[in-house]
Amino acid sequence: MLETQLEELRRATLAAFASANSLEDLEGARVEALGRKGSLARITKEFGRLAPDERARLGKLLNSVKQDLETEYDAKERRFEETALAERLANEWIDVTLPAPGVHPGSLHPVTQLQQEIEDLFTSMGFAVLEGPEVETEEHNFDALNIPSTHPARDMQDTIWLTSGHLLRTHTSPVQVRGMRKLGPPFRMIAPGRVFRNEEVDASHEHTFHQLEGMMVDREVSVANLIYFMKTLLSSIFKREVTIRLRPGYFPFVEPGFELDIHCLICDGVGCAVCKYSGWVEQLGCGLVHPNVLRMSNIDPEEWSGFAFGLGLTRLVMMRYGIDDVRQLLSGDLRFLTQF
Ligand code: DAH
């Protein structure tokens, strides 16, 4: 009796597996036969009533039925999965010749790029990189740089004053003052940053631009040291040997003060539009730190001396890339910025 039931179960379930059209059908047939409350479980319960030798014989049959069904179930399930994968692969395809979607990763602003190059150079020569505030005190921006309020040099830079009595720094030179007071001699520092002037904006004037200040204070620092570092700086920026010349220049915080020119790189000094046919292009202001400036920041000028320089990063970037309108640099215009 149980034997017939088992044989019938095997036949019916194999038939159900064979006619299953989906994984769900297949699973339904499996649960019906092999599930916890399925036919096989029900038949197994009857085994308790059997004599031991009967039970052994039918037990073997039961195991073989179970094995057959499981094997067939696995095989059929695998076939369903393979068919599903084949269908997916047939529908899913990539045209590798299509252009990839555009990726716009952004880039560093050309002024930032130049600034980082110069920072790398100077840190390799033992200079610290300092930052100072953009909103400054009159003392740091002017007085401590030997520009008292009565000094005509205050008019050299059109200042944006705040109602608080503070000002927007007109140059990076106040960071010299902060450097002297913070580091104490001997020290070497540079200070890149934004500066602000009360300017009428046009193609060559911006109210906001970038400078890079440098200062070295030690025993017996001379113009020779200044020239060495400036040649190293400019050769590194222009990636070739440069010829420089110093002209006397007036800045209240240095004595002697210089304007430093380089031999025009466009015409090699012959004369062209870039150098206004002079053969030379003005690069930066520099000089030996004025004793008053050292003294006002608690450095004894009898013992220590130093040089300082101020480089116009914005102007240098314009020269490097042949940019003829300074306003483009702050425009935020992606058509301009993505070129760098
Ligand atoms: N601060 C000056 C300016 O903005 C530039 C300058 C000139 C800086 C001479 C210096 C220097 O450190 O020694 O025009």
As a whole number of angstroms, the distance between CA 22 and CA 12 comes to 17
Which residues lie closer than 8 Å to 310 by C-beta, 6 or more apart? 171, 172, 173, 211, 212, 213, 214, 284, 285, 286
Domain match, 129 and 40 both: no
Tell me the range of 34-48, 99-113, 221-235, 259-273 where mean pLDDT is highest: 221-235
Number of domains in the chain: 2
Q: Identify any residues that bridge with 286 across adjacent strands, giving them in sequence order.
A: 258, 309
CATH of the domain at 272: 3.30.930.10
Q: Which domain holds residue 186?
A: 110-337
Q: 305-312 and 280-289 as β-strands: parallel, antiparallel, unpaired?
A: antiparallel
Instruction: Supply the residue whose CA is at minimum distance from atom 6 of ligand 1.
Output: 310
Task: Give distance in angstroms: CA of 226 to centre of ligand 1.
Answer: 14
Q: Evaluate whether residue 164 is within a structural domain.
A: yes
Q: Which of 92, 120, 152 is the last residue of a domain?
A: 92
Domain match, 181 and 239 both: yes
Specify the pLDDT at position 156. Answer: 67
Q: Which of 57, 92, 127 is the last residue of a domain?
A: 92
Q: Evaluate whether residue 99 is within a structural domain.
A: no
Give, for ligand 1, the residue of 145, 190, 253, 316 to mutate: max count of ligand atoms closer than 8 Å to Cβ.
Answer: 253
Q: Cβ(312) to ligand 1 under 6 A?
A: no
Task: Give distance in angstroms: CA of 252 to centre of ligand 1.
Answer: 9
Domain match, 184 and 332 both: yes
Identify the H or E element spanning 8. helix 2-19
Q: Evaluate whether residue 283 is within a structural domain.
A: yes
Q: What is the DSSP string of 200-238?
A: --BTTB-SEEEEEEEEEEETT--HHHHHHHHHHHHHHHH
Q: Cβ(214) to ligand 1 under 6 A?
A: no
Domain match, 122 and 241 both: yes
Domain match, 56 and 186 both: no
Domain match, 84 and 116 both: no
Domain match, 155 and 265 both: yes
Integer Rg of the chain from CA: 42
Q: Evaluate whether residue 100 is within a structural domain.
A: no
Q: Evaluate whether residue 98 is within a structural domain.
A: no
Domain match, 283 and 161 both: yes
Q: Cβ(308) to ligand 1 under 6 A?
A: yes
With CA atoms as reference, report the closest residue to 319 among 107, 119, 110, 112.
110
pTM, two decimal places: 0.71
Give, for ligand 1, the residue of 171, 208, 284 to mutate: max count of ligand atoms closer than 8 Å to Cβ.
Answer: 171
Task: Give distance in angstroms: CA of 267 to centre of ligand 1.
Answer: 27
Domain match, 236 and 133 both: yes
Q: Evaluate whether residue 104 is within a structural domain.
A: no
Domain match, 143 and 235 both: yes
Q: Cβ(20) to ligand 1 under 6 A?
A: no
Q: Cβ(193) to ligand 1 under 6 A?
A: no
Percent pLDDT > 90 in the chain is: 65
Q: Evaluate whether residue 36 is within a structural domain.
A: yes
Q: Which of 92, 121, 150 is the last residue of a domain?
A: 92
As a whole number of angstroms, the distance between CA 146 and CA 5 comes to 112
User: Tens digits of per-residue pLDDT, 195-206?
Assistant: 999 989 988 889
User: Tens digits of per-residue pLDDT, 264-315?
Assistant: 877 888 888 778 899 898 889 999 999 999 999 999 999 999 999 999 999 8
Task: Give distance in angstroms: CA of 30 to centre of ligand 1.
Answer: 88
Q: Cβ(258) to ligand 1 under 6 A?
A: no
- Average pLDDT over the chain reads 92
Ligand 1 closest atom vs CA 171 = 4
User: Tens digits of per-residue pLDDT, 14-37?
Assistant: 999 999 998 899 999 999 998 999
Ligand 1 closest atom vs CA 195 = 4
Q: Cβ(147) to ligand 1 under 6 A?
A: no
Domain match, 214 and 65 both: no
Cis previous bond, 52, omega within 30: no
3-state secondary structure of 315: helix
Predicted confidence band of residue 155 (pLDDT cuts 50, 70, 90):
confident
Domain match, 220 and 258 both: yes
Q: Evaluate whether residue 258 is within a structural domain.
A: yes
